Amino acid sequence: MTHIASLFLKLNRLSFLLIVFFLINVCLLGKTQAENSKQTQNLEQVQKLKQAQSKEAYNPTANVTPSIYVTAYPDHIVAIEGNFLIWKDGSKMPIKNLVKLETFKEALDNPDLYRQLIIPYTPGPLKNPPTEDSDPGRIRYVPFFQKMYGGTQEEVRKNLVEVEWLPRTFKGVSAVKLLVTQVNDVSDKIKKISAELDDLVQKKPHYKKYLKNPGGTFSWRLIAGTDRPSSHSFGMTIDINVAHSHYWLWDYKKAHGLSLETELKESSISDKNVPAYKNDIPWDIVAIFEKHHFIWGGKWFHYDTMHFEYRPELYRKDTN
Ligand SMILES: [Zn+2]
């Protein structure tokens, strides 16, 4: 009898140990599964972020639709024929040049009509700071803009008219007149933008500070630190108040103890040395410009938050 009882006790102890062992394993397995699913989630997030970034960054073999030039500039471009843009006056302009390029920086210095479309401009509130190379609109094929807006300072000036800037807000001695081009109805669009901003300031008077003393419109010049003409040369660009804006090159110079007048080549500053993104311009202001197909420099990695430029070709067809 004693023998049977001791055997029973041993068996019980053994099954107790087995149960404990089993439970430990179940816990460990559960933990590993939880860790695995967390890792999978993290991986998915990284992949999604990479996909979102690669959509914006420069891809030299991206599929673009040059026919957007016909819809974006109906007063000038009538058709696409093969590799050529056909202008209303019958002249042809090549879309893709034959130089093989791989990087965004090479494309900035060797632009063509194809490369100009590669980085799409995404309308709507900015969700994240722009990633490296994501400067939609900074690749400009200059002969295209010269043919539309004027090839010399005198030619551009012939198309400029004065537009009153927010006439309800800035009147009397504080009235401001902007010099903008009539080409592509830019002056009419600026009038509409101005009226909508006037309405906005009536509702939100604290926005007045961003819009008073605009930094300028027409200016026949090169982009600071480059040999590339500024879009201000064509009269379809406006800078709002510099005092409440951020510009990457000024921030870089300030961070390095340099005066703003210091000559510095943009190409000498690598992407990793571009200052961290900054912006104070309220989205409500940007939204009004976007409605009229102006792009905002606040969506550039090389940020320029005062800068708005009429670039309808960068708005995809579905947003037109
Ligand atoms: Zn500007």
Report the pLDDT value the prediction gives residue 35, as an integer from 0 to 100: 56
Report the pLDDT value the prediction gives residue 120, as an integer from 0 to 100: 87
**In the predicted model, is pLDDT for residue 13 greater than 70?**
no
Distance 237 CA to ligand 1 centre (A): 7
H/E/C letters for each residue in the chain? CHHHHHHHHHHHHHHHHHHHHHHHHHHHHHHHHHHHHHHHHHHHHHHHHHHHHHHHCCCCCCCCCCCHHHHHCCCCEEEEECCEEEECCCCEEECCCCCCCCCHHHHHHCCCCCHHHCCCCCCCCCCCCCCCCCCCCCCCCHHHHHHHHCCCHHHHHHCEEEEEECCCCCCHHHCEEEEEECHHHHHHHHHHHHHHHHHHHHHCHHHHHHHCCEEECCCCCECCCCCCECHHHHCCEEEEEHHHCCEHHHHHHHHCCCCCCCCCCHHHCCHHHCCCCCCCCCHHHHHHHHHCCEEEHHHCCCCECCEEEECHHHCCHHHC
Distance 79 CA to ligand 1 centre (A): 31
pLDDT in tens, 98-130: 788 888 888 998 999 999 999 989 999 999 999
**287 compared with 54, residue with greater pLDDT:** 287
> Could you tell me the pTM of the whole model?
0.81
> What is the chain's mean pLDDT, rounded?
87
Q: Which residue has the tokens 């409500």?
A: 284
Lowest mean pLDDT among 32-41, 87-96, 150-159, 218-227: 32-41
Q: Please enumerate in sequence order all residues whose Cβ is within 8 A of that of 260, keeping only pairs 6 or more positions apart, or say none.
A: 250, 253, 254
**104 compared with 309, residue with greater pLDDT:** 309
Distance 64 CA to ligand 1 centre (A): 26
Distance 42 CA to ligand 1 centre (A): 39
Report the pLDDT value the prediction gives residue 214, as an integer from 0 to 100: 95
Distance 135 CA to ligand 1 centre (A): 14
Distance CA 223, CA 78 (A): 30
pLDDT in tens, 190-216: 999 999 999 999 999 999 999 999 999
Distance 30 CA to ligand 1 centre (A): 57
Tell me the mean pLDDT in the region 178-201: 98
pLDDT in tens, 141-156: 999 999 999 999 999 9
Q: Tell me the residue type at 110.
A: N
Distance 306 CA to ligand 1 centre (A): 6
Distance 227 CA to ligand 1 centre (A): 16
Report the pLDDT value the prediction gives residue 147, as an integer from 0 to 100: 97
Distance CA 155, CA 182 (A): 12
Q: Give the model's confidence band at 311: pLDDT under 50 very low, under 70 low, under 90 confident, else very high.
A: very high
Q: Give the model's confidence band at 52: pLDDT under 50 very low, under 70 low, under 90 confident, else very high.
A: very low
**In the predicted model, is pLDDT for residue 1 greater than 50?**
no
Domain spans of the chain, in order of start: 127-319
- For residue 185, report the phi and psi dihedrals to the nearest 5 degrees: 55, 30
Task: Give me the half-sphere count of Cα atoms (radius 13 Å) on the Cβ side of residue 38.
Answer: 6
Report the pLDDT value the prediction gives residue 284, as an integer from 0 to 100: 97
Distance 32 CA to ligand 1 centre (A): 54
Report the pLDDT value the prediction gives residue 55, as an integer from 0 to 100: 47
Report the pLDDT value the prediction gives residue 186, as an integer from 0 to 100: 98
